[in-house]
Chains A and B, each alone.
Chain A
Amino acid sequence: MFPALRTVYPALASQFVLLMLGSSVVAAISAEELTAITNTLQSTTFRAFEFYFVATGLYLLMTIGMRLLLHAIYWAIFERSRPAERAWSR
């Protein structure tokens, strides 16, 4: 099923994750997302390192969650119904 899609899927999945991580930059034009809120919090508490450390951990969790989800989608589309094809491709 969709051999071309199957080939680009891993690269595309990485790109989605990088896009999510790149979204932190919109804080620079003061869109209110995780990074911008962290900036506000650290500037009111002066606990910069702690807040950024926690925010980084949250991004890492989001990345891991996204990777798991994308893996699950890959499995559901390309591998679940095709055990024979999988055995052949190895």
Chain B
Amino acid sequence: MSRDFEWPEFLFLLGALRWTIVLSLIAFVGGGVGGLVLAIARTSSHAILRWLAATYIGVMQGTPVLMQLFLAYYGLAVLTGIRIDPWPAVTLAFTMYAAAFLGEIWRGAILAIPRQQWEAAAAIPLAPAAQLRYVILPQAFRIAIPPTVGFLVQLIKGTSIASIIGFVELTRAGQLIVNVTFQPMVVYPLIAVLYFALCWPISLAALRLERRIDAALGIKQHP
């Protein structure tokens, strides 16, 4: 005799959705800090910094998230000598993963600013750090919004992979519910709907933000 899919099961899924959100937030904020450092290092005038950042990004973008997750999980276990909780492993892995991708996205946004803007800022004259802070980054910010939000949505959906090492977020909770209800064709579509309900408003909000910045800068709207 198995359980049916009813309110308690649905509430269990909603409770697990919270951990998907928390994990995505930590990864996005931590990855954002790391990504900013990487993007600046990647566009700096020091060859060593550029090379270090490029190598890090190359390795992180050249290996599957799943492998990074396993390496963080078992790597931390090897380092500490005990079998650890999935929490630190998944947050570490997703933060490092997000840093690499955001770093590369923002490097593109920085490079998209015409060189004349750097020259104009240097002519005022601003110090290199101030050129970046007051002239380049504000302009790069507008360019970076669509790909950054696109990546955030990918990241939220990507956290479902954390279920494989036993981290109970939305997908893992869904598997647990399927195991007791035997109704995968009810549970998994519902989970897909929950992910959609999480990601779609973010895309809409980003669109509104773009429009507002464009309006403030007097840029013509796209149809």
Binding site for B on A (CB under 8 A): 17, 21-22, 24-25, 27-28, 35, 48-49, 52-53, 55-56, 59-60, 63-64
Residues of chain A within 8 A (CB-CB) of B64 are: 21-22, 24-25, 35, 56, 59
With both beta carbons as reference points, the residue of chain A lying nearest to B59 in the complex is identified as: A60
With both beta carbons as reference points, the residue of chain A lying nearest to B75 in the complex is identified as: A49
Selected contact of B70 from candidates A21, A22, A28, A52, CB within 8 Å: A52
Q: Does B63 contact A (CB under 8 A)?
A: yes
Selected contact of B67 from candidates A17, A52, A64, CB within 8 Å: A52
State how many angstroms separate the Cβ of B33 from the closest Cβ of chain A.
23
Q: For the complex of A and B, list the 5 residue pairs with the smallest distance between their C-beta atoms, beginning with the closest.
A: A63-B62, A24-B64, A48-B74, A56-B67, A21-B64
Interface residues contributed by chain B, number (CB under 8 Å): 17
With both beta carbons as reference points, the residue of chain A lying nearest to B62 in the complex is identified as: A63
Chain B 42-72 interface 0/1 with A at a Cβ cutoff of 8 Å (1 = within) = 0000000000000000010111111110110
Instruction: Enumerate B130-189 residues with CB–CB distance to A below 8 Å.
Output: 161, 164
In the assembled complex, the Cα of A60 lies from the Cα of B67 at a distance in Å of 11
With known contacts A25-B161, A28-B164, A49–B71 Cβ distance under 8 A:
yes
Binding site for A on B (CB under 8 A): 59, 61-68, 70-71, 74-75, 77-78, 161, 164
With known contacts A25-B161, A28-B164, A49–B67 Cβ distance under 8 A:
no
* Inter-subunit contact B62/A60 (CB<8 Å): yes
In the assembled complex, the Cα of A32 lies from the Cα of B71 at a distance in Å of 20
* Inter-subunit contact A49/B74 (CB<8 Å): yes
Of the A-B pairs whose beta carbons lie under 8 Å apart in the complex, a sample of 10, sorted by A's number, is A21-B62, A35-B66, A49-B71, A52-B70, A52-B74, A53-B71, A56-B67, A59-B62, A59-B63, A63-B61
Q: What 8 additional pairs, Cβ within 8 angstroms, besides A53-B71, A55-B67, A63-B62?
A: A17-B62, A21-B63, A21-B65, A24-B64, A24-B66, A25-B161, A48-B70, A52-B67
Residues of chain A within 8 A (CB-CB) of B63 are: 21, 56, 59-60, 63
Residues of chain B within 8 A (CB-CB) of A35 are: 64, 66-67
Residues of chain A within 8 A (CB-CB) of B61 are: 17, 63
Selected contact of B71 from candidates A17, A22, A28, A52, CB within 8 Å: A52
With known contacts A49-B78, A60-B59, A25–B66 Cβ distance under 8 A:
yes
In the assembled complex, the Cα of A28 lies from the Cα of B78 at a distance in Å of 24
With known contacts A24-B67, A25-B161, A35-B67, A64–B78 Cβ distance under 8 A:
no
* Inter-subunit contact A64/B70 (CB<8 Å): no
